[in-house]
Chain A
């Protein structure tokens, strides 16, 4: 048995000299890790769900645009995609799908009424694959690429007093100032969770939109999806290397900074709560270590007297402190993993006002849990840092030990 193995054996046995005290300390770490892990899992699950909902619904994870479009969203800052763009997108293994869009504004009119609207030219099939647009059709039929029909938000249709089969007139300014006007039969009405979208949205096949705005083959964006949002960094890295000017690839984080800020702010709030929790746990561990050192001063003196280097003794005490934390974390995971596993597979359905608010934001009213590795390794790192800081006390005590005094402690 090597000296290190002996140190581990000694540390392990020392921990169990006072079983009750060690078990109480472990219990405090267990509950701390359990709460922190479940809380983090719930948080990250909710963020992921929120991001997925919003990103899938509105922007996609990545968009390729003309470099001037984001700052000045006019039809004049559209781009005509070259084949290499599609080749780049299709050859990137992390990108699972893409959809072309041509977005602009128009006055939407019926016979007597007019309202401003957001016109979104889409590839009906691809858009449905990405955003599931078809599921919001509450009346009539979804779009077909080869038919010049439109889908209209239910509130807009109601305002204009139009229904399925009626004609909607769109009037706008097209590419480089050409007049844009057209009339289209309404194939269906859309009802989104977000009321603003119901009041403004007009979906139209992209070829029809390009004709309307006098912008053949032009797009405002190519929306891209990735399988997992954690693949985003890799995916965008590959794209940015290959997509050069005048194109630019933007992530959802760049397009929805307010969403990112909200998530970060919420995370920061949780960090404070977890910090308080871990500080309490830290004091519990410190109390145990304080006692362990105090009652073993003489023993430590004997060890150094008979020839153990103080650094070795310090290492032994460090191992003991870290072992307590490590066991507590393992116990905490043993408790939290089944809870997270259950709720990961059976998300909690929200009801009442909370559910209504989420639905209004276009987010499914469920509380999701996450298996993200960071949910777990963050606790390991936190406990390790806490125990490492606490271990400074026994380490310093060992290094400053006065042997002759310790022997008479």
Chain B
């Protein structure tokens, strides 16, 4: 039966035998593990499409609901936390793997004739991926995403002459707000995916049409044998893809995706920081004061991007050995090192976020609630943390967990504190998630509960 469907389809389209032919095309000798990164990226892109669609079924792109919808996804939707974690961690990992893939291609000189366009499609894909990162960053509408976008769009405003127009075009108005969120969402889920699919199709078509360049000539000794794509290379590709996938899944489950307090345009104590892959630029700006700033915000990134895109035309000799191309490999090495150093410096020297990065309350801590605890702020936190999705106070909320209407007269502060931090301490069956918040927040929450007599 399967065979008949197969033959029927193939007779009419020729697609099946074409795909099979592709699978069995031999690869040049010496192709192996370093050539598996492209497939890994393809796998990660598929992960992003699938998890992205799933997130979009639960997300509301308006400032009124964006944060609440993410909170709901994290706390109430089964596996929602993991799906968001997968999307978050894959977004980071794909940037690293793409960078390595690009570096590998550069070192092997694989962008040279006739593969110039394969390279240009690839660089285009890298820019599209950074676009995904920039637009996706805003969507959770927490402090980090709001302030990151304020600064990010402000950087775009430093473009000479047209900066102000670029800023308004990106924000949809003068400030980061409802219109910004809508347009970032539209770009993230409607424009960029199509660009990605278009560029990726071109890239993959050329990779299959021209074949992989393989290693430079010296690798191909006398005994070199061509490598069948299937199963030899497919197996290696899949080991790498699944390995990266396992790491991403582990991070999604163990760490999850961060969610800071809801965006507050009035906050003055918040230190905006971009996502790690933009940290090097962020750090560079610190060394370029005043009039030179535009060098870091606009001139360097633009020139770098253009040089990268047109690299096949800047380095036209047929020589592929990295040691015989000292300029290209040297500049790439210095740039990579520079980015790495700037990123590291930014990661280790920047001030800690007040509040956001203060240590989470120690689960073993049972000490008394400090006298300064503020029940009014606690009530606000109770709402922010959506405790009402499982607890009822005076008829408000859902009775999944115990009702808290009179909890202040039923439990003492020490118990409430312990229970809030580690709900399983007296009942291993408890399904309540531990409350991860700075000690001050826990104290205020407990103070609020104590006030419910």
Tell whether A pairs with B.
Answer: no
Measured CB to CB, the residues of A under 8 A from B are: none
Measured CB to CB, the residues of B under 8 A from A are: none
